[in-house]
Amino acid sequence: MDFLKINGGHGEGGGQIIRSAITLSCITKQPIHLENIRKNRKNEGLKAQHLTAIQILQKISKADVIGAKIGSTELKFVPGNVENLELIEDVKTAGSISLILQVLIPVVSISQKKLSLIIKGGTDVLWSPSMDYTQYVLKEAYSRMGIEFSIEIIKRGYYPKGNGEVKLEVYPSKIKSLTLSKRETNNLKLKCTFSKISIDVIKEKIEMIKEKISKANFNVEIEIKEEEALDSGASLLIYSIDKNSIIGIDGLFDNKKQNFDLDFEKFNNSLGVDESLADMLVVPASLGINKTVFQVKEITEHLETNLFVTSKITGCKYGIGKTSEGFEVIIQGVSNSSIK
């Protein structure tokens, strides 16, 4: 067996390497051997959300897998043929559903297949995009790239119990190139969902955020919804969409500080995409026929690592150029011969 070896400790050495590697392994039919998984993390090795993603991909692609267990620092993944499936899955923790969907959506869609999935776990948790970010920001970007999916958030799930529930439908696609240069609109949307927290506290904190938004000369449309969950929690998303930009920033309510952990300046300073979306565009962009181009304020170590791993598996070419306001990322895709 001809395995492509990938050092899971490269660069920022986190979970993104795992997600990109197994995603592209399934799409390109390239067996991979991941070593030093999450080596740079305090608790190294596979976590529950990584394991769930691997196990679902194993079912979808009839893959042979060695090393798929919690804490494993080594994984061999040999994909078969991706199939249409209907599945019900449970992370059994507050592990991030959105990070799992980042793996499943490109694999199924780019492989020209369909997936119907009901999954339980964490919908709005730390170190992960919220489900609203996935539904309103990632969905918009992927749709422009030809990747179509729909999400229904049945129940929210916060840390520590999780138990959120999401229904996902993924449809066959043909990848398109994308250019996102700079935001032109000054119209924003703010969405907030909460459970077991005083509505007065939520409204007070959002009013403070609204003042920051107004001072930055943006118009904002606000939606606040109470959605029952096992644990107390709240999630907030601010986003803007126009022809040349897709930008979002989300944050969770910190119960100790009694405030949202949200850096509005990052949103305000974003160019064509926010730094989280930049990461998520790399995998599909690497498999398109033409160039995908986007502008970002900063090149994160996360993005650099993802570009390196993706290019190693697909053979795509990429470049990063300095601009007067930030950086331009260019990814020249390769239309993979295994994608029919």
Active-site residues, by number, are 302
Q: CA angle 89-145-187, nearest 5°? A: 95
What lies within 8 Å, CB to CB, of 54 at 6+ separation is 18, 22, 46, 65, 68, 75, 77
- Contact (CB, 8 A) for 306 and 14: no
Compute the distance between CA of residue 264 and CA of residue 244 in angstroms, rounded to an integer: 20
Compute the distance between CA of residue 316 and CA of residue 333 in angstroms, rounded to an integer: 5
305: which 2 tokens? 């690592």
**Amino acid code (one letter) for 165:** E
- Contact (CB, 8 A) for 13 and 38: yes
DSSP helix/strand/coil, 185: coil
DSSP E strands in the chain: the ranges are 4-7, 32-35, 64-66, 75-78, 85-90, 115-121, 149-155, 164-170, 179-180, 187-195, 219-226, 233-242, 245-254, 259-260, 291-296, 317-322, 327-332
Beta bridge partners of 76: 33, 66
Compute the distance between CA of residue 337 and CA of residue 53 in angstroms, rounded to an integer: 25
